[in-house]
Amino acid sequence: MADVQLHPILGVPQAAMPKHVAIIMDGNGRWAQQQGLPRLKGHQSGSKAVRYVMVEGANLGLECLTLYSFSTENWNRPKVEVDGLMQLYKQYLIEERPTIMENNIKVRHIGFRDRMPDFVIKELDETIELSKNNTGMELCLALDYSGRTEILRAVKDIASKCKSGEIEIDAIDEQLISDSLDTKGLPDPDLLVRTSGERRVSNYLLWQISYAEFYVTDVHWPDFTVEVLHEAIKDYCSRNRRFGGIGSNKK
């Protein structure tokens, strides 16, 4: 039997490593409340965890890391919190550019664009343009994102192409739908991590997580560390993924 190649950092079989890790970053507000701080302070602390996880994801050799940062439903939060979040996104996109470039990370956005402030779109576009030729991990930022709305947009786009005669109905398959989503060209998430002990998917990557493994941690996002990320990935690598079959029981 050939020797199993182990991941140099995690020590798990290289072949078992996830290609795409998606994270629902939850618990910023609760973390702040536990500290007796305003909710926005929790979001500020959470941005540091984003940096740690982004850099470590690149170090681990992930193909893609998708972060659920702001859902379409989050617009219903108090205006002062939303305004503060938008300022934080602007600050993050500017301050993290050197780190993004040093780690050969390519930035991508999924979700709506027209409802975010112009100053956020400007910095988002500049960061995407700056990193477009990077060849390492793809950092996918889900901002003003809704899984259901993403699927609805894809359905409308495909229906329009059918109506115009660009494609035939019989040509509609899973690959065409995947290629009509914001995540076109990315592998589906292998591992979905949710922090703060919550156990729901919250309208996140509904099409893409069909076969994702779930990992839930009670850790609030601001306290999420590289070690917690390692634990999640090691747990994933220990699972027997059957995809509807019997499986091999091989680790």
Active-site residue flag, 134: no
On the CB side of 173, how many CA atoms lie within 13 Å of its CA?
3
Catalytic-labelled residue, pool 3, 59, 74, 118: 74
pLDDT, residue 240, reads 84
* Short-list 68, 56, 198, CA closest to 137: 56
pLDDT digits (tens, 9 = 90+) for 45-103: 999 999 999 999 999 999 999 999 999 999 999 999 999 999 999 999 999 999 999 99
Cβ distance 142 to 204 under 8 Å? yes
- As given in the structure block, the two tokens for residue 97 are 């550019």
Q: Residues 147-173: what's their mean pLDDT?
A: 97
Q: Which segments of the chain are extended strands (E)?
A: 20-24, 64-71, 106-110, 138-145, 191-194, 213-216
The radius of gyration computed from the CA coordinates of the chain, to the nearest angstrom, equals 19
Report phi then psi at 133, rounded to 5: -95, 0
pLDDT, residue 195, reads 98
Position 208 confidence tier, pLDDT thresholds 50, 70, 90: very high
- Domain edges within the chain: 14-146+188-237
- Residue that has been written with the tokens 């970053």 in this structure: 25
pLDDT digits (tens, 9 = 90+) for 221-248: 999 999 999 999 999 999 987 655 655 5
pLDDT, residue 246, reads 56
**Whether pLDDT at 180 is above 70:** yes
Work out the percent of the chain whose per-residue pLDDT is above 90.
Answer: 94
Active-site residue flag, 74: yes
Is the pTM here over 0.75, yes or no?
A: yes
pLDDT, residue 230, reads 98
Q: Residues 128-142: what's their mean pLDDT?
A: 98
Catalytic-labelled residue, pool 26, 144, 182, 190: 26
**Whether pLDDT at 143 is above 90:** yes
Distance CA 4, CA 163 (A): 52
Distance CA 141, CA 96 (A): 13
* Short-list 64, 230, 234, 243, CA closest to 139: 64
The angle at the Cα of 74, spanning 71 to 80, to the nearest 5 degrees, equals: 140
Per CATH, is 14-146+188-237 categorized as 2.60.120.260? no
